[in-house]
Amino acid sequence: MATMTAGSLQMAAMRPCTSSSRRLFMSSAAILGVDVKGASQAKFASSSYISSVKPLRKTLVSAPLKFTNVVTRALSGESEKGVVSGLPIDLRGKRAFVAGVADDNGYGWAIAKALAAAGAEILVGTWVPALNIFETSLRRGKFDESRRLPNGSLMEIIKVYPLDAVYDTPEDVPDDVRTNKRYAGASNWTVKEVAESVKNDFGSIDILVHSLANGPEVTKPLLETSRKGYLAAISASSYSFVSLLKHFLPIMNPGGASISLTYIASERTIPGYGGGMSSAKAALESDTMVLAFEAGRKHKIRVNTISAGPLGSRAAKAIGFIEKMIEYSYANAPLQKELSADEVGNTAAFLVSPLASAVTGSVVYVD
């Protein structure tokens, strides 16, 4: 039942351009513009390709579009000519744990890749039933194309940990899950155990990324959602962030940062985004503000969440109408382009970097 796919149920931001009253957000990260001809790429929640892959669908207009894809550069402090270039996002010497990476097709993967491009060491937590497939694909090179960083090297994932963030401790795991064949051979995968394993292996981390969600009844209207389904959505999609931060905070270095992924359904009605998922995202955003205060006062850790727009990931297709949501957003957005996963990854890299040292408790819209 405890399905944990990286940011799996994040949905498209469907709102007209005239309705937004939020302040615009611009990262001061060093960026490189890459012109891409034709349709842009439809991307959506959690582990995903970054920019240079073929489009998932045609755009709504017949004439080819031309836009700029933003790619985070890992600047070592000097350009090829030996001259300092721009304002770098420098995460060298930092270690990140990204919870919710199960493939290379979502926001979790894009965030991990952007952090790696900025120099961070990457650890990931993968939902237990997806672990073998993910590790096998990595080992066989199936993700090599999407692992490629701007400098031509491949993103290195230092270690993959089995994780089911629905369960805090081994005592919380019911017998039917413990004996499930999909969990056979895996151990130490509850939140507390994973945090302890990371501490034993590496001592500490600097960055914590929550890129996972699940709502077993997401296709049901809220009025038809059961109590069990509603609470399951809250548990997997919002409390899981509280639990991860609670258990990882003691091993996070002061000055570190944590981010999660939310969705506009937290504040606006999105028909079809049911099963309590809109409530879970609202809770996640409220928790972000409270956790920012508590983690900031106690451990000097910043906590932010990214409200990301439409992405046609594999997990999003479970909703059944993600393409329509992408088209709606495309037609009504102020910037008439489809969102690519790397744009969310770039924002995440900025938010966890020293460049955002005074940004905490914020919902940052990338949609």
Number of Cα atoms under 13 Å in the Cβ half of residue 179: 3
- Catalytic residue, candidates 107, 263, 330, 365: 263
**Is 167 among the residues known to form the active site?**
no
DSSP assignment of 242-303 equals HHHHHHHGGGEEEEEEEEEEE-GGGTS--TT--TTHHHHHHHHHHHHHHHHHHHHHHH--EE
**Is 49 among the residues known to form the active site?**
no
Distance CA 53, CA 51 (A): 6
Q: How far is CA 246 from the centre of its chain?
A: 19
- Catalytic residue, candidates 183, 273, 330, 365: 273
Distance CA 143, CA 181 (A): 26
Q: What type of residue is 303?
A: V
* Exposure string over 171-190, b if 16+ CB within 10 A, otherwise e: eebeeebeeeeebeeeeebb
Which residues are catalytically annotated? Answer: 263, 273
